[in-house]
Each structure stands twice: as C-alpha cells, then as structure tokens.
Amino acid sequence: MKQTTKNILGVAAIVLLSSGVAGITTYKMLKKERPAAFSELFEQNPGNLKLAAYNAVDAQPVDLTQAAENSVHAVVHIRAKQLAKTQTVQGGGGMPEDIFEFFFGGRGQQRQMQTQPRVGFGSGVIISKDGYIVTNNHVVEGADEITVKLNDNRELIGRIIGTDPSTDLALIKIEGDDFPTLPVGDSEALKVGEWVLAVGNPFNLNSTVTAGIVSAKARSIGGQASNGQGANIQSFIQTDAAINQGNSGGALVNARGELVGINAMLYSPTGAYSGYGFAIPTSMMTKVIADLKQFGTVQRALLGIKGSALDTDLQTDERWAEELKKKAEELGVKEGVIVAEVVDGGSAAGILKENDVIVSLDGKRISKFTDLQETLAKHRPGDKVKVKVVRNKKEQEFELTLKNEQGTTKVVKDAGMEILGAAFKPVSPEMKKQLNLGYGLEVTGVSGGKMADAGIRKGFIILKANNVQMKSVDDMENVMKAAVKSPDQVLFITGMFPSGKRASFAVDLTQE
C-alpha cells in the first residue's frame, strides 16, 4: 500500500488554476486499483463497519453561510489580456553571408513577427478598501490589460503594483474607495481537519463557493509556474474543497470568514478537480504583499545554506532514502533540515556547519524544508533570528542576522517596475564565472511594460544601457531616469542570454 501511494503521488499532475493563457495543464495516467465493493467489505468484516454518522447524533454541523456571504463580495473576477505585438527577431530569410553565423547564430537577418492576442481568466481577493487586490502571479503575468469585475458586476481597470514569481503572488490595484474586503486571518492557526471555503470564479462562473477541510499543511508539491519555472518557495495549505481552473488567485476562507490562503494549484490526472487543491498561506502572503506595495519587489531573507530534510517518507529514490536514514541515526536526530553546504557570505557563514541539523527557527519546529521556507518568508534582510541545531548529537542555539541574495542587508530596489515593467538583480558570482563576466544585471521578472514590448524576457543579462556598464540596480535606475528626460527617450540595451548568445534591444520609453 505504501508503494502504491508513492506511485500515485509520482504521476499526478500539478495544474495552475487560472484558465486561458495563464493556465497550464499536464495530463498523465493515474494508477488506479479496483476498490472492493461495499458488500464484499461487509462480508469480510461486518463488525467494524458503521455508517459515517453512527456516533454523531449530537454533533452540530458547521454553519458556513455567513463566511460565504462575506467572502463572495470581496472576491473578484480577473481578465488578463496580452495584446498582439510586432517583434523583431533574428534569423530566417535565407543563407547568412558569414558561415559562422550559419552554424552559431549572431547578427543574422532580422524579420518582423506578429504575435497573437491572448486572454486568460482568474480570481483575486480585495484586501483593502482603497482597492488593493491579491492574486497569483501566473494570472497576470505578461498581461497588457487587466479588467477586474466585482461581484456587483462593476468592471474596473487594474494595474500591476508588483509580482513575485517565487511565491506565485501578485498585487494589483483598482481605483476607487470603500470596496468590500476580507479580513486576513492567521494561517498558522489552521488545524488539519478544520472547515474552509474556496471562493472564486472557476470556468468563468462568478462567485462560486465550495466547502471542504484542511487536509494537510506545509505541503511541497513541485508545481511549475506558467513560465515553466518551478516555484522555489512552497509551503501550501492542502484542502479538499473543490477548486478548478479559474480559481487561481481566489480566497481560501475559514469558518469565521477570514482569509487564510490564496488558491493556486490543483492536483489532478485530468486537469480538472479530482480531490485536492493547494493554497498559499497568509503567513507567507502578508509579508510578500507588504513588500510589493512598499518596495515594488520582495525583500527576501535567505539563510545561506544548501540542505535536505531528514524525511524519508516521500523519497522516491530508495537509495537516497536509505542514506538519509543512516545519516539521521549517525547524527542522533529523527527530523529536521540537514545542512549540506554553507554559502560563503551568506547569513549562516561562520555560524552553522556542514551536518548541522536545523530543528527550530525562531521557536518554530522545523521538520521539513517547507517549514524553513515558510518561517524565513516572514522575515526581511537585517532581521535577527535564533536557530536551534543538533550538532554532534547535542542541541545548540545561535543568533544570526539574515541577509539577502546579494549577501547584504540593504533594501533591494525595483528600478523599472512602473516604466520598464521589469525587475533586476546583479548577476551572481556563479553566473559571472560561468559566462566569464565582470558585471551585469539579470532580468528577474518581466510584466506588461516597455521591456516586454522590446522583446526582453526573464533571464536576459544586461551588460550595458546607453553605453553605461550595469553593475548595480542603481546604475539602471540612473540611466533610465536620464533617458526619460532625453529628447529621443530611448534606452539602448546590450547584453547576453544565459546560453552565451549576445543581443541588443532598443526600449522606447515614450508614454502614450
């Protein structure tokens, strides 16, 4: 039975719940076993069979009507449209003159390509009376136009304030006041077995409410975002409340009518609901959205380690599971996150060591990697945290100061979210070494904006902007501001892709 469970978990598909362009469905076979008939079970063991309500005569059902009534008015329908664009691309149109260009690419020949308009649908949750709305990143990613439809059928234009692909969250804004809202609850207080509602717009059916229970917490499922990249921060609430495509960005609500999660994915062999859905907990959402509103990008704190949970239950590689079991016995601890490597210059450098097992962070028990991610997601660089580890079979506690990806505690600025529609970070030391670079800015995200119009995508490395070397986000911000004030209002970008191929773009900064 245990192996059967592993087989089932290994082949089920993760489906993003927004429909249209934002939705991605993977179809795979789900291994099934023929269930025994009721009569067969009864004949085998009649004494142990009872009706579900046999001992529940005095039990009172949970009244979810008030929670549902409050929720539907604060959950909106989102329509995200990507307009048709004309883009300049390399290649095509015959044999290049240079034989090296034929084999390796390069300048080549340019041609114009017309993209097709695309429309996607999803849901969102109003969290403030002045019109701030939380949704999934994959609902609005790449959108040029966003339309928000309220439960009273009003339609308003939405604009992106910030997005975070790592947690699949986004913050958008509609203009107005006195909008209905949902109070934000404490997802950490949720208990497995507690009743919850999933509220959203599956299949464009507005104001749909389904009920179920919390069936698991801190779940990691290895889902992929719509850009094909795996979400690298996962700690989902698992529920059996029915959710489908179009529910993305909708609300997971407790019986008190409080928002406890943002619906994001479903687990399915067919692409439609078949048992379980997953929501991003508000414990993670609250800090991410606050950062997007204040800074335009998430101030993410990293512990600066590489490691693995000492959890063998879900390991599909039996040899690796056996190695973890042996390591746990050797270290004298049954659960936690074992440190495989301490990153130079990171938060844990000089404090934690290889083979330390992290069992607690800020007083919260750490049994798997998702516990660690969820706790860190509530902190910003510069925060001090207490880490309890098992070292040489003894518990020790250390205090360390959290740092960001750049190894500092400084605020990371989002230089071009409003005008360029993109976010940047300095190229990592590993990438510099790999590509033999001395500097550069990596494009970490692109939403509807000037860079998307020019054809620049996530992952591109900017080396120069208007002939100025890009060594920091401040360099980009300064060059952009100067370009906006210039007569031609053009930003000339040169750089390269991670593959090593170089490219140039002209970003038109004129405002319509």
* Among 30-39, 90-99, 446-455, the least confident range: 30-39
Indicate whether 202 belongs to any domain: yes
Residues 189 and 170 in one domain: yes
Rg (CA), the chain: 25
Positive or negative: CA dihedral 35, 36, 42, 47: negative
Calculate mean pLDDT across residues 269-295: 86
Which of 13, 11, 20 lies closest to 245, judged by CA?
Answer: 20
Indicate whether 46 belongs to any domain: no
* pLDDT exceeds cutoff 70 at 56: no
Final residue of a structural domain among 271, 299, 327: 299
User: How does 120-152 read in b/e, with b if 16+ C-beta sit within 10 Å?
Assistant: bbbbbbbbeeebbbbbbbbbbbbbbebbbbbbe
Among the listed residues 187, 248, 283, 447, the single catalytic one is 248
Among the listed residues 18, 19, 71, 138, the single catalytic one is 138
- In the prediction, which pLDDT does 324 show? 74
- In the prediction, which pLDDT does 327 show? 79
Amino acid at 177: D
Calculate mean pLDDT across residues 377-392: 92
pLDDT digit string (tens) for 128-180?
999 999 999 999 988 889 999 999 999 999 988 888 888 999 999 999 999 99
Residue entry with tokens 């910030």 = 162
Among the listed residues 18, 19, 144, 168, the single catalytic one is 168
More confident residue, 53 or 252: 252
Final residue of a structural domain among 401, 436, 457: 401
Q: CA 142, CA 447: separation in Å to the nearest integer?
A: 5
More confident residue, 499 or 286: 286
Indicate whether 229 belongs to any domain: yes
* pLDDT exceeds cutoff 70 at 370: yes
Contact indicator for 445, 165 with CB cutoff of 8 Å = yes
Indicate whether 251 belongs to any domain: yes
Q: CA 271, CA 23: separation in Å to the nearest integer?
A: 10
* pLDDT exceeds cutoff 70 at 190: yes
- Residue partners of 39: CB distance under 8 A and separation at least 6: none
Instruction: Please report, rounded to a whole number, the percentage of residues in the chain having pLDDT higher than 70.
Output: 75
Q: What is the DSSP letter of 231?
A: P
* Among 231-245, 280-294, 466-480, the least confident range: 231-245
* pLDDT exceeds cutoff 50 at 340: yes
- In the prediction, which pLDDT does 58 show? 42
- In the prediction, which pLDDT does 21 show? 42
* pLDDT exceeds cutoff 90 at 423: no
Q: Please, what is the average pLDDT of the chain? A: 78
More confident residue, 413 or 207: 207
Residue entry with tokens 């089932």 = 8
Three-state secondary structure of 250-296: CEEEECCCCEEEEEEEEEECCCCCCCEEEEEEHHHHHHHHHHHHHHC
Strand partners, 403: 302
* Among 51-65, 369-383, 488-502, the least confident range: 51-65
Structure tokens at 51: 């009706």
* Among 237-241, 381-385, 496-500, the least confident range: 496-500
Residues 143 and 273 in one domain: yes
* pLDDT exceeds cutoff 90 at 259: yes
Q: CA 429, CA 498: separation in Å to the nearest integer?
A: 14
Which of 346, 266, 280 lies closest to 288, judged by CA?
Answer: 280
Calculate mean pLDDT across residues 1-14: 42
Indicate whether 429 belongs to any domain: yes
- In the prediction, which pLDDT does 477 show? 82
Q: CA 379, CA 297: separation in Å to the nearest integer?
A: 14
* Among 28-32, 288-292, 293-297, 504-508, the least confident range: 28-32
Which of 462, 452, 451, 472 lies closest to 498, judged by CA?
Answer: 462
Q: CA 327, CA 311: separation in Å to the nearest integer?
A: 11
Amino acid at 427: V
Residues 189 and 292 in one domain: yes
Residues 293 and 317 in one domain: no
Contact indicator for 459, 465 with CB cutoff of 8 Å = no
Contact indicator for 127, 259 with CB cutoff of 8 Å = yes
Final residue of a structural domain among 255, 270, 299: 299
- In the prediction, which pLDDT does 84 show? 77
- In the prediction, which pLDDT does 401 show? 94
Calculate mean pLDDT across residues 104-108: 48
Residues 311 and 231 in one domain: no
Residues 164 and 248 in one domain: yes
- In the prediction, which pLDDT does 275 show? 77
Residues 313 and 450 in one domain: no
Indicate whether 39 belongs to any domain: no
- In the prediction, which pLDDT does 465 show? 93
- In the prediction, which pLDDT does 311 show? 67
Contact indicator for 447, 141 with CB cutoff of 8 Å = yes
- In the prediction, which pLDDT does 172 show? 95
- Residue partners of 185: CB distance under 8 A and separation at least 6: 254, 256, 258, 259, 260, 282
The CATH code of the domain that includes 161 is 2.40.10.120
Indicate whether 49 belongs to any domain: no
pTM: 0.67
Calculate mean pLDDT across residues 453-481: 89
Calculate mean pLDDT across residues 454-459: 88
Residues 471 and 385 in one domain: no
Amino acid at 320: W
Contact indicator for 163, 170 with CB cutoff of 8 Å = yes
Indicate whether 409 belongs to any domain: no
- In the prediction, which pLDDT does 345 show? 87
- In the prediction, which pLDDT does 55 show? 41
Q: CA 323, CA 341: separation in Å to the nearest integer?
A: 17
The CATH code of the domain that includes 317 is 2.30.42.10
Calculate mean pLDDT across residues 480-488: 80
Q: What are the backbone angles phi and psi of residue 285, rounded to the nearest 5°?
A: -60, -45
Contact indicator for 486, 461 with CB cutoff of 8 Å = no
* pLDDT exceeds cutoff 90 at 449: no
Residues 494 and 361 in one domain: no
Structure tokens at 304: 């600066």
- In the prediction, which pLDDT does 59 show? 42
Residue 226 designated active-site: no
Residue 453 designated active-site: no
Structure tokens at 356: 């330390």
Residues 367 and 245 in one domain: no
Residues 84 and 209 in one domain: yes
- In the prediction, which pLDDT does 486 show? 80
pLDDT digit string (tens) for 222-241?
543 333 333 467 789 999 99
| 358: number of Cβ within 10 Å | 24
Calculate mean pLDDT across residues 193-218: 90
Task: Give the H or E element holding residue 325.
Answer: helix 318-331
Range of the domain at 347: 305-401
* Among 84-98, 370-384, 408-422, the least confident range: 84-98
Instruction: Please report, rounded to a whole number, the percentage of residues in the chain having pLDDT higher than 90.
Output: 38
- In the prediction, which pLDDT does 93 show? 47
Residue entry with tokens 């079979």 = 393
Contact indicator for 304, 332 with CB cutoff of 8 Å = no
- In the prediction, which pLDDT does 511 show? 63
* pLDDT exceeds cutoff 50 at 343: yes
Q: Give the chain's domain count.
A: 3
Residues 84 and 212 in one domain: yes
- In the prediction, which pLDDT does 268 show? 67
What's the Cα-to-Cα distance from 26 to each of 11, 118, 139, 324, 429, rounded to whole Å? 10, 20, 17, 31, 35
Residue 168 designated active-site: yes
DSSP 373-408: HHHHTT--TT-EEEEEEEETTEEEEEEEE-B-TTSS
Contact indicator for 378, 167 with CB cutoff of 8 Å = no
